[in-house]
């Protein structure tokens, strides 16, 4: 069964690349990294009921399993190339595998990403994807370069996925455009790959917002040995989120909700305008939400400058 499932996924995700010398079907894939490029590699796992709600459509699961990994490459400023898939599912459900593969392939094709290996096993629905991308030596974005005085920006909007999760968990949730938008943001996150590439050589530090802004910006602070101050009034929120939730809730979602997969990054202040113009051209835009300061940790202030106590991001072992 292992072989036919992976073959089915391979067929649905077929993508020819010259750097894949031998793809799925042997004990390992054989690959060529382009001369003068470093390899960026990440792995992420999604478990049903923990990282996505029971009942999520198979195609959305396939999309998201790849999206969360591409988001890691985006945060490094790397160009996606190859993926490995480890798919554990309760039984050999052909309809599920087909749906999963279609969602996975839809996103993979956007980036001409090739599925180069996989393993299917029986167990609780669990998906691990490892992705590989290329980046010129020394050009990768890391969490470690934020400097005191840098501006802090985020792409897109924050809190949508947390709002979408709340909608999904309400049995009789509303069936309107705003609700659909939030659920789409939860189930089909857009990895900010083009934004990550545009930030090469400009952002001093970068991370993707997977566990929530406070937690992830906190990682930049730790790695860079700095602190950050965020102005809650500046948090970019979609009109759908603001329509469906009150101010305090939408702010909490924007600060602490996970799963948005926007990029949070720092740039020298004199670069803010040009970076914002470039990211606006890419469709996601970027909003300045605060600055890097001496010290440690993330401080959030409201519009009157009062310090709000920060909530933590998602922790899958304490959630």
Instruction: Please report, as ranges, the residues that interact with its own copies according to CB under 8 A.
Output: 1-2, 21-22, 25-33, 35, 38-51, 72-73, 75-76, 78, 82, 84-86, 88, 91-92, 116-124, 126, 128, 130-133, 135, 137, 140, 142-144, 206-208, 223, 315-318
Residue with structure tokens 């900010």? Answer: 192
Q: Is 216 annotated as a binding residue?
A: no
Q: What's the min distance (Å) between Cβ of 183 and its own copies?
A: 22
Q: Is 310 annotated as a binding residue?
A: no
Helix (H, G, I), strand (E, B) or coil at 108: helix
DSSP state letters, 218-266: HHHHHHHT-EEEEEGGG----HHHHHHS-HHHHHHHHHH------EEEE
Q: Is 27 annotated as a binding residue?
A: yes
Q: What's the min distance (Å) between Cβ of 100 and its own copies?
A: 15
Closer by beta carbon to its own copies, 251 or else 262:
262
- Count the alpha carbons within 13 Å of 317 in the hemisphere toward its beta carbon: 0
Q: Is 211 annotated as a binding residue?
A: yes
Nearest-angstrom CA–CA distance, 146 and 148:
7
CB 63 within 8 A of CB 183: no
49-52 own/partner pairs: CB under 8 Å, 24+ apart: 50/316, 50/319, 51/316, 52/187
Q: What's the min distance (Å) between Cβ of 275 and its own copies?
A: 19
Closer by beta carbon to its own copies, 92 or else 269:
92
Q: Which residues of 273-293 are buried (b: 16+ CB within 10 A; e: fewer)?
A: eebbeebeeeebbbbbbbbbb
Closer by beta carbon to its own copies, 44 or else 160:
44
Distance set, CA 12 to CA 16, 102, 135, 311 (Å) = 12, 6, 27, 42
Closer by beta carbon to its own copies, 120 or else 178:
120
Q: Which two tokens stand for residue 74?
A: 């985006």
Q: What's the min distance (Å) between Cβ of 302 and its own copies?
A: 29
Closer by beta carbon to its own copies, 91 or else 170:
91
Q: What's the min distance (Å) between Cβ of 300 and its own copies?
A: 21
Q: What's the min distance (Å) between Cβ of 76 and its own copies?
A: 5
Q: Is 16 annotated as a binding residue?
A: no
Q: Is 316 annotated as a binding residue?
A: no
Closer by beta carbon to its own copies, 201 or else 281:
201
Q: Is 210 annotated as a binding residue?
A: yes
CB 133 within 8 A of CB 37: no
Q: Which two tokens stand for residue 266?
A: 């720092």
Q: Is 259 annotated as a binding residue?
A: yes
**Looking at residue 74, what DSSP letter applies?**
H
Extract the annotated binding site for Mg(2+).
27, 44, 72, 119, 208, 211
Extract the annotated binding site for ATP.
118-119, 143, 210
Extract the annotated binding site.
27, 44, 51, 72, 118-119, 143, 208, 210-211, 259, 314
Extract the annotated binding site for substrate.
51, 259, 314
């Amino acid at each position: 069964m292992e072989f036919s499932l992976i073959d089915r996924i391979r067929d649905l995700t077929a993508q020819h690349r010259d750097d894949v010398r031998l793809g799925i079907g042997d004990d390992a894939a054989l690959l060529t990294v382009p001369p003068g490029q470093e390899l960026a590699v990440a792995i992420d796992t999604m478990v049903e009921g923990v990282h996505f709600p029971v009942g999520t459509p198979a195609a959305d699961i396939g999309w998201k399993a790849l999206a969360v990994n591409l988001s890691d490459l985006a945060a490094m400023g790397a160009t996606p190339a190859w993926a490995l898939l480890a798919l554990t599912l309760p039984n050999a459900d052909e309809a599920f595998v087909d749906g999963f593969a279609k969602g996975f392939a839809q996103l993979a094709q956007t980036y001409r990403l090739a599925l180069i290996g996989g393993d299917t096993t029986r167990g609780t629905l669990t998906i691990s994807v490892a992705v590989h991308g290329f980046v010129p030596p020394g050009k990768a974005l890391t969490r470690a370069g934020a400097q005191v005085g840098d501006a802090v920006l985020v792409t897109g909007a924050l809190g949508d996925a947390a709002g979408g999760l709340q909608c999904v968990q309400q049995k009789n949730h509303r069936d309107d455009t705003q609700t659909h938008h939030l659920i789409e943001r939860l189930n089909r996150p857009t990895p900010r790959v083009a934004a990550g590439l545009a930030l090469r050589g400009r952002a001093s530090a970068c991370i993707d917002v997977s566990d929530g802004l406070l937690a992830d910006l906190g990682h930049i602070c730790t790695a860079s040995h700095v602190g950050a101050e965020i102005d809650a009034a500046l948090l970019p929120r979609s009109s759908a989120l603001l329509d469906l939730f009150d101010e305090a809730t939408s702010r909490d979602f924007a600060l602490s909700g996970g799963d948005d997969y926007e990029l949070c990054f720092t740039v020298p202040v004199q670069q803010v305008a040009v970076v914002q113009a470039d990211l606006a051209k890419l469709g996601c835009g970027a909003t300045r939400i605060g600055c890097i300061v001496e010290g440690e940790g993330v401080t959030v202030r409201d519009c009157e400058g009062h310090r709000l106590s920060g909530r933590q991001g998602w922790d899958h072992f304490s959630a």
